[in-house]
Amino acid sequence: MEGKQFQIRTVVIGILLAVLLGVFGSVLYQLQVVNVEEYRAAATVKISNQVTVEAARGEIVDRYGRSMVGNRATYQITLNTTPMGKEPQRNANLMALIQICRDCGLAWTDTLPISKEAPFTYTSETPLVYENSEGKVKFTYLGSLLNKLPLGEKLPNRYTQDMLDGAASLSDLPAPPTAEEVIQALRSYFIIEESWSDTDARAVIGVLYELNLRSKDVNRNSYVFATDVEIDVISAVKEQGLTGVSVSATTVRQYSTTSAAHLLGHVGPIFSENWDKYKELGYNQNDTVGVDGVEAAFEEYLRGESGRMLQEMSTSGKVVSETWYPDGETGEPQVPKPGDNVMLTLDLRLQEKVEEVLANTIQELANTKEKGAVVVQSVKDGGILSMASYPTYDLTQVYSNGDLYNEVSSDPRRPFVNKATQEYYSPGSTFKPLVAIAALEEGLTTPTEKIKDTGYLQLPEEDHYPYGDYHPQCWIYRQYRGTHGWETLANALRDSCNIYFYTMGHRLGIDKIGQYAAMFGLGEYTGLELPEKKGTVAGPETSASLGMEWYGGNLLSAAIGQDNTQVTMVQLANYVATLVNGGNHYATHLLKTVKSSDYSQTIYEYEPQLLDQLDLDPAHVEAVKQGMWEVANDKESTVYNQLHNLAVEVGAKTGSAQVSADQNANAVFVLFAPYDDPEIVISMVVEGGASGGNLAKAAGEIVNYYFGTENTTESVGTENTLIP
């Protein structure tokens, strides 16, 4: 009985094995015989795709290691239309992706200069052609693409290269095709379904426009469909299995502060007009680079080393394998290497305070132009501790929000302009300490000599009066019919007596004034790593360059910081720092140290750069400093109440620079502290602020913050140690 059961079981197992072998054989037959060509093509055809993997940029930190700019991990969407199939499948695939973005509120890259809704209009004044700086007519991206596409009768009135070559200016060209005509031509060329709405068709055309710019070699930047992609978009893309749509990890810049917008700058793609420059430096077309500010100035340190990866994809667009390219010399995998970290001379907490003080000061003053700047500089080495420009903008939002960017860029106060480096102002009476030190150094006066202010300039009888009927008045006589009487150098600085400095200017002459101004860096570049204006110092050559006549009486205006002397706030701070430190003229700078990506090594340490060492008599320096001390501490000074009782003793000088008869003067102010052993210099301007004395309170607030016990820089810990 048992033997019979065993025999039955053996037969059953044999039958099952036969069935399984039959099924297996049938599958093999289908693979190897029936569908051999189809499966052979699928197995052998793979799409190789070389991918540049961008390295994370280095961080930007302040002088104490506080993070200012870092990186945030995120995702981006890129497209590969090769596996998407023919136009109907491709367009439907792209439309599905666009709808996901709409549902999730994600913006995608679309630079087609045509409105997104019908009736279609151009969003640029020169959508197809423009005149370059040399006056030549050139294609825009859209114009170039329309010229390259085989549109034929779809767009018969388009511009051609021959038309541009024969045109001396834009006015020589006929009217361009309308935006409606361009959309209809592209809709036909890209074979967009007629049943689709104008809005949907325009959206897909916008994406295909971007892809064709690259495929037709009009724009060499890689096309990233969307950046900073949230998980809901990623999930929807994965669920629908959209062909040729890739989601990859990347990093974007993350700002730890809304301060220092004018200094930090931002990053962006390499534009075609800059590609040749970056190509020589070994960049890839899809690299991100610093566009302005510190991001651009220290690009060589912040830039990482991109990696290169080979992707193999199936015909459906699925990534089959990924392999790092080996280095041609070492054979090592070309994995991305993060950039180095840049430590600035800035003190972030001080920067935040200075911006707050500047904004409050401008808002409290009446009839200003709502524009101004402050610079806080180290006397010891030229390092910039703080640099504020008003109005400012939110760097964390402005370049990712088109509406906000347009709002800021159209503001007549020009918020994008750094008014500490790219606007220049007449220094007014803050120029008088320079005239004082020049007269002392040239032996033309002494600290104790007294000059009598009678209300208007009258030279001694033994001096020939070369200015004819021109007898400029002192400000106190012009405003109050008063005089300062007999003034020493220190008294004249305290009272800002024009008569005293007219007299010193007369003795010096314009050549000496210009010589000393250059020695102290006025009208010269300061060495700052960011773009700055050079400015001018009054004199015959400056007047000639401006198409103006130079008269002898202009010398007197130049001696009190007026006429054509125009300087930046960073120049003003640097000149005062050079004066009060005894003549060491340092280059201004923002770079302090460069650290390796893991902060384990110092790559570069900034050494103070001595541009010039002025051979100033210490007694003369002290005499000028004494006058600036009186500005802050003498009870007869107009700013005594704002400055005499600060955390440390200071020296200062006010200035008022007349702009026009019907506008408030620009208020200018300089200060150094502490008086006995200067550490910092502050320069400040408010356009239309009327009087430099109006800024004394603000400067005093900055001094108290900097030297206050709870805010002193020493309280934040050991230098070069990272802190929160």
Query: What pLDDT, in 10s, does the model give residues 74-107?
Result: 888 988 888 888 999 999 999 999 999 999 999 8
Closest by Cα among 195, 214, 232 to 95 = 195
Quote the DSSP letter at residue 128: S
Q: What is the dihedral of CA 579, 582, 583, 589, to 10 degrees?
A: -70
pLDDT for the residue 270: 79
What gap in Å lies between CA 296 and CA 289, rounded to an integer? 7
Closest by Cα among 283, 280, 302 to 221 = 283
What gap in Å lies between CA 268 and CA 69, rounded to an integer? 15
pLDDT for the residue 721: 46
What gap in Å lies between CA 244 and CA 264, rounded to an integer? 37
CB neighbours of 213 closer than 8 A, spacing ≥ 6?
Answer: 141, 145, 219, 223
For the entire predicted model, the pTM comes to: 0.80
What's the rounded mean pLDDT across residues 547-558?
A: 94
pLDDT for the residue 521: 96
| CATH architecture for the domain at 44-76+223-344 | Alpha-Beta Complex (3.90)
Q: Give CA angle at 218 (242, 184), nearest 5°.
A: 65
| CATH architecture for the domain at 348-396+418-716 | 3-Layer(aba) Sandwich (3.40)
If one compares 575 and 11, the residue with the highest pLDDT of the two is 575
Task: Tell me the C-alpha to C-alpha distance, in Å, between residue 266 and each of 260, 289, 528.
Answer: 12, 9, 18
What gap in Å lies between CA 90 and CA 416, rounded to an integer? 41
- The structure tokens 């010891």 sit at 380
Q: Examine the pLDDT at 622 and tell me if it is beyond 80.
A: yes
Q: Give CA angle at 186 (182, 188), nearest 5°.
A: 120
Convert the pLDDT of each residue in 656-688 to its tens digit: 987 776 688 899 999 999 999 999 999 999 999
What gap in Å lies between CA 68 and CA 255, rounded to an integer? 6
What's the rounded mean pLDDT across residues 603-611?
A: 96
pLDDT for the residue 714: 44
Is 521 strand, coil or helix? coil
Convert the pLDDT of each residue in 239-294 to its tens digit: 898 888 888 888 889 999 999 999 999 998 877 677 778 888 888 776 889 999 99
pLDDT for the residue 56: 87
What gap in Å lies between CA 108 and CA 102, rounded to an integer? 9
What gap in Å lies between CA 639 and CA 631, rounded to an integer? 7
Q: Examine the pLDDT at 404 and tell me if it is beyond 90.
A: no
Range 248-276 burial, b when 16+ CB lie within 10 A, else e:
eebbbbebbbebbbbbbbbbebbeeeeee
Please, which pLDDT band fits residue 637 given cuts at 50, 70 and 90? very high
What gap in Å lies between CA 212 and CA 202, rounded to an integer? 15
331-340, 364-373, 433-442, 548-557: range with highest mean pLDDT:
433-442
What's the rounded mean pLDDT across residues 134-138?
A: 84
pLDDT for the residue 330: 79
Please, which pLDDT band fits residue 24 given cuts at 50, 70 and 90? low
Task: Give me the residue spans of the domains in the chain.
Answer: 44-76+223-344, 110-220, 348-396+418-716
Convert the pLDDT of each residue in 439-484 to its tens digit: 999 999 999 999 999 999 988 766 678 888 899 999 998 889 999 9
Convert the pLDDT of each residue in 297-354 to its tens digit: 999 999 988 777 776 766 555 666 777 778 777 777 878 889 999 999 999 999 999 9
Q: Examine the pLDDT at 430 and tell me if it is beyond 50.
A: yes
CB atoms within 10 A of CB 661: 5
Report helix angle 231-240 to 87-104, nearest 10.
150
pLDDT for the residue 716: 42
If one compares 316 and 160, the residue with the highest pLDDT of the two is 160
CB atoms within 10 A of CB 668: 29
- The structure tokens 């108290």 sit at 704
Q: Examine the pLDDT at 37 and tell me if it is beyond 60.
A: no
Mean pLDDT of the chain: 88
What gap in Å lies between CA 4 and CA 674, rounded to an integer? 112
Q: Examine the pLDDT at 566 and tell me if it is beyond 90.
A: yes
Please, which pLDDT band fits residue 609 given cuts at 50, 70 and 90? very high
What gap in Å lies between CA 153 and CA 171, rounded to an integer? 25
Which of 149-158, 589-598, 633-642, 696-705 shows the lowest mean pLDDT across its residues? 149-158
